[in-house]
Structure 1
Amino acid sequence: MDAAGSRAPAGTGGDSSGGSSRETSGRLSREQIYVLVSAASMNLGCMMAYSILGPFFPKEAEKKGASNTMIGMIFGCYALFELLASLVFGKYLVQIGAKFMFIAGMFISGGVTILFGVLDQLPEGPIFIVMCFLVRIVDAIGFGAAITASSSILAKAFPNNVATVLGSLEVFSGLGLIAGPPLGGFLYQSFGYEVPFILLGCIVLLMIPLNLWILPSYESDPGEHSFWKLVTLPKVCLIAFVIISLSSCFGFLDPTLSLFVLEKFNLPAGYVGLVFLGLALSYTISSPLFGLLSDRMPNLRKWFLVFGNLITAACYLLLGPVPILHIKSQLWLLVLVLVVNGFSAGMSIIPTFPEMLSCAYENGFEEGISTLGLISGLVSAMWSVGAFMGPMLGGFLYEKIGFEWAAALQGLWALISGLAMGLFYLWEHSKTRRSRSKAQNLIGTEEEQTALLPNET
């Protein structure tokens, strides 16, 4: 990872107060290493705790009387409250303190993960369902705090290599997504419902003392700009729509894929978790690559955003596959499509943060932790919108029209966002060319007038 390169890529911005002393060195400082370790530990632990539900919770919830739609709502409420938490924490990051927010978020997330492990002791019906909602809501608030603070701290420590660092740390998010489902499935199969949650919750809690010791504190003055000014920028709005569409695609799989695999291919719960590996592993491998390319060649970001969405749309048509294609559903095809989807997701997700940050700086936002908090909160919030809508619609559509058609409809989100982003970049390119042409014509006219002046006198 070249997280502290000597040349600042265009478009990522800089931070004279926080990174100028480190950005010219080819080696990582001790502070930067500590930031990376803290963020990596949070990504790994929290994503493992988040992803263990996929292989077995839908079936367990069915036993407790929850419908597929209700299961989708349990998955989706997490994202809804992470959305609200991210907006609030992004706005007040400077006042609360990034380090405190990070540690408190991890503590809450680890504690309620353990609490989720005892919910099977509750009676079936409304009591079980209500408690699932409450625990997931509190967990979402904790995770929203931790991820918003983490992204801001990373961007502060690595002002000129934001995409590279975020992409590299997605390896640990991916490892969490990779390890979570199979680990959760096998622990559930071997020891029952409680053990997966208690073990993962304890792992997250044990990371807190480490982060209290090594994570640096960053202080800054509150910024003058608001979320409202940020979201009214057209480019930011379109990137937000891209984030929502991609997040909803991921969220769609949580309540539906395990049920589809169990019904279609009759796999045991432990092996269902392995199916999720196709998506998580390819996303983990591709994210650092696309992060490095986004920082070294910023002009490629627009192509990543557009084509990543279009490839994702094609993947969801083939996930079932959609009946109109007359392709037989096979396990190897499903895994292959998930692998390709992981690469396309890395292609389109990683450039979103630096593109949004670049747009903010170009429109007068100050360079500092306050703006980074706004961007981090907005990215987390938009991701949460999709993560809320994906499971909700996924559970409902799976129940009404089946997985094949539900996946195809989900793919339309990615198709629309990819086309919209492509049209915007074409418009932006034509606008830039017209501006340059006018400027050249104006310069040429002034030169002609200057050349004629001596003759006129």
Structure 2
Amino acid sequence: MAITKPRNSNYLEECDLVENKDREQYLQQKPESSQKLLTVPRNEKLDEQVTNASNNQVVTEQKSNKIRRLLCLISCVILYLAEGVNVSATGPFFPNEAQKKGVTQTMIGIISAVTMFALWFMSLLLLFLASEKNKKPLFYIGLFTSAATCIIFGELVLIKNTNLFIISCVVTRFLMGIGCACIWSAGAPILIPLFPDKAGKIFGLLEFSVGFGQMIGPPFGSFLFSLGGYRLPFWVAGLLEIAAGVFCVICLSTVGNDDGEKQKDAKTDCSNKLKSSTSIAHGSMRSLNIPPRESQFSKTSLKFISNPGVILITFPVLTIMCEVGFLQVALAPHLLDTYNVDGNSSGNVFLIHAGLSAVTCALFGILVDRGFASCAFVVSTFLTAIAYFILGLPQLIAMGSSDKFSLYFGLALLGITANGGFIPGYFLFEKIAELAKIDSQTKLRIYVVTWMNSCYAIGSILGQVVVGGIFFETFNFYPSCLLLAALSSVSFLIGLVYLIFAGLLKKVYYADESKIVITSSDKCNLDVHNEIES
């Protein structure tokens, strides 16, 4: 019989200890690379340093972009101010000086209106041709064309022949209008994408700049006219616009180059990770694997122009814009004939209208952003009719010494309401187009700006040629004001009825969540983060 050793628990424990020691010795003899494959400790300090460095880089880039955007805004504001001076500085003395050369009042109105006709023509042309790619080149061409023609227009006074003087003035003013159209049609679409949630304030600020330039233009022109004669105001206004244009080109070129580099870097970093990117211009998502849709400006622009709402709101805008052209050609002769106020001091009277117009620009921009665009538009149209009636009141009532009071009060009221139809008009046209689903947000902005420039030009032409030229030469100043009062009353009723039936006579806001800008780099980082998490 074989003798077996009983199973001892202590013996088994000793065997386990020996086996564990052998395993530890084996692991110690393995190369370091094998041990690293077994466990990888997480370095939390290194992760924190990388995160902090990335955040600091983003903050620095945001500050740099903000500074560049502010410089672009400042440069455009200065340029628009110079453009306002350019447009209004000639009002106090050009009509009277042209009459000395044998130019009739109707022809003076035509010469002044040629600029607005060119502005209207070029704005309609840009409505079909302007795009995101060529808006900056158009802007640059316009600012230097406008400045150069301003200087040339001042030198035309050296021409002694009346007919040659008229032809030269018409050609120069036509080229000046083309330059103005390029500036005003491309300026706002360039700035709005840089400040997408402050569209109303940007429009208000640009109109304030033009209005402030028009405010200081008449007294500034009168002062320079008395100081150095007819040619000096044109040289100063032209050189001021050239200096502002150079500053503007430098700032906008910097922003454009940075945007291109960011888009290029974003596409390089995300080429293997993303299938879609974000349009920086207006925050619209577009797939990278879908070819871009060809431009359909010709069809959609005609659809925009023929929209009934756009047509009906155009009438009140035109009547409000009439005052700009009418006062430019009719006020100086009226002051000279009635009160014996010549070009050396008439700029102070122009200051009443232009000054209040400039001051109220910012107010209307704030009202638009707070949802009161429709109310501001209707009230301004109504008060414009009242202001014209007050200006024409001496025709109905013998006022005696109170004649000047009605003139100053009417000009002040027109100055307050001048931008009430212009700045909210941008908003109303865009909302009407959005409700009709005419086109994308990017193209709508171009349509709206160019159409508003066309309205400004047509209104000024009507004020300069029809009312301030033909009608003023036949019936004088007061009946012309009463005619404008009647037209403003009719257009007020048209605008009011349409806004009520369209459901727009309420608080409607400019900025919404769809206009939030998301950069391509942000989208890339978000998708990479999602891949890591998954």
> Which bin holds the TM-score, normalised by the shorter protein?
0.7 to 0.9
Quick one: which of 399, 402, 406 aligns to 2:480?
Answer: 406
Quick one: which of 431, 453, 465 aligns to 1:380?
Answer: 453
Paired position in structure 1 for 2:320: 246
Paired position in structure 1 for 2:94: 57
**TM-score with structure 2 length normalisation?**
0.72
Paired position in structure 2 for 1:313: 385
Work out whether residues 77 and 205 of structure 2, in 8 Å CA contact, stay in contact via their aligned partners in 1: no
CA distance in 2, matches of 1:377, 1:390: 20
Q: CA deviation at 1:122?
A: 0.3
- The Cα offsets for residues 190-244 of structure 1, whole Å up to 9 and x where unpaired, read as 2111111011111111122211211134897764352210012222112222221
| 1:4-19 → structure 2 map (5 Å cutoff) | none
| Letter of the structure 1 residue corresponding to residue 376 of structure 2 | F
| Letter of the structure 2 residue corresponding to residue 256 of structure 1 | A
Paired position in structure 1 for 2:245: 208
SS of 2:487 mapped into structure 1: helix
Matched, 1:87 2:124: yes
| 1:146-225 → structure 2 map (5 Å cutoff) | 146-215=183-252, 216-217=255-256, 223-225=295-297
| Letter of the structure 1 residue corresponding to residue 379 of structure 2 | F
CA distance in 1, matches of 2:88, 2:133: 28
| Letter of the structure 1 residue corresponding to residue 380 of structure 2 | G
Paired position in structure 1 for 2:367: 293
In terms of Rg, which structure is larger?
A: 2
| Letter of the structure 2 residue corresponding to residue 354 of structure 1 | F
Q: CA deviation at 1:97?
A: 1.5
Paired position in structure 2 for 1:124: 161
CA distance in 2, matches of 1:27, 1:411: 51
CA distance in 2, matches of 1:154, 1:374: 15
Structure 1, 331-340 or 77-86: larger mean CA deviation: 331-340
CA distance in 2, matches of 1:75, 1:321: 27
Q: CA deviation at 1:275?
A: 0.5
- The Cα offsets for residues 365-390 of structure 1, whole Å up to 9 and x where unpaired, read as 44443321121111111111111111
Q: Which has the higher contact order (CA 8 A, sep 6+)?
A: 1
SS of 1:54 mapped into structure 2: coil
**TM-score with structure 1 length normalisation?**
0.84
Quick one: which of 344, 353, 364 aligns to 2:417?
Answer: 344
| Letter of the structure 1 residue corresponding to residue 419 of structure 2 | G
Structure 2 residues not aligned, in runs of 5+:
1-57, 260-279, 282-291, 507-534
Q: CA deviation at 1:266?
A: 1.4
Paired position in structure 2 for 1:440: none
Paired position in structure 1 for 2:17: none
Q: CA deviation at 1:28?
A: 9.1
Q: Compared with structure 1, are the counterparts of its residues 26 and 256 closer, same or farther at alpha carbon in structure 2 (3 Å cutoff)? A: farther
Work out whether residues 105 and 145 of structure 1, in 8 Å CA contact, stay in contact via their aligned partners in 2: yes
Quick one: which of 276, 301, 307 aligns to 1:233?
Answer: 307
| Letter of the structure 2 residue corresponding to residue 230 of structure 1 | F
Structure 1, 96-105 or 150-159: larger mean CA deviation: 150-159
CA distance in 2, matches of 1:249, 1:192: 28
Matched, 1:363 2:436: yes
SS of 2:501 mapped into structure 1: helix
Q: CA deviation at 1:29?
A: 2.4
Q: Compared with structure 1, are the counterparts of its residues 108 and 431 closer, same or farther at alpha carbon in structure 2 (3 Å cutoff)? A: closer
Report the aligned-residue RMSD: 2.5
Q: CA deviation at 1:98?
A: 1.5
Aligned-residue sequence identity (percent) comes to: 26
| Letter of the structure 2 residue corresponding to residue 412 of structure 1 | A
SS of 2:102 mapped into structure 1: coil
- The Cα offsets for residues 101-157 of structure 1, whole Å up to 9 and x where unpaired, read as 111100000001010111111013210001010000000001100110002123333
Quick one: which of 267, 273, 284 aligns to 2:347?
Answer: 273
Quick one: which of 102, 108, 132 aligns to 1:71?
Answer: 108
